Amino acid sequence: MSFPDAYAFAFSLAATLMVAIVIFRAGDGTLSVSPASEYDGDVSEIIHEVDPFAP
């Protein structure tokens, strides 16, 4: 998934679920998204965080 696609997906999830979403690089090099509370990977792999409550 490209970064623009991952960001759009993360933004949509964050707005729908009203939770923080992280965009991270998976082990095979692709980008993926997950709710921040469910992400248990390496913090250094996080590319961006989308927070629906951020100003």
Q: What is the pLDDT of residues 6-16, one digit of tens each?
A: 999 999 999 99
In a domain, 18, yes or no: yes
Let me know: does 1 contact 30? Beta carbons within 8 Å: yes
Domain span including residue 38: 3-50
- Name the average pLDDT for the chain: 95
Is 55 a domain residue? no
Please check whether residue 22 is in contact with residue 4, taking contact to mean a CB–CB distance below 8 angstroms. no
pTM equals 0.89
- Tally of domains in the chain: 1
Token pair of 1 as six digits:
């998934």
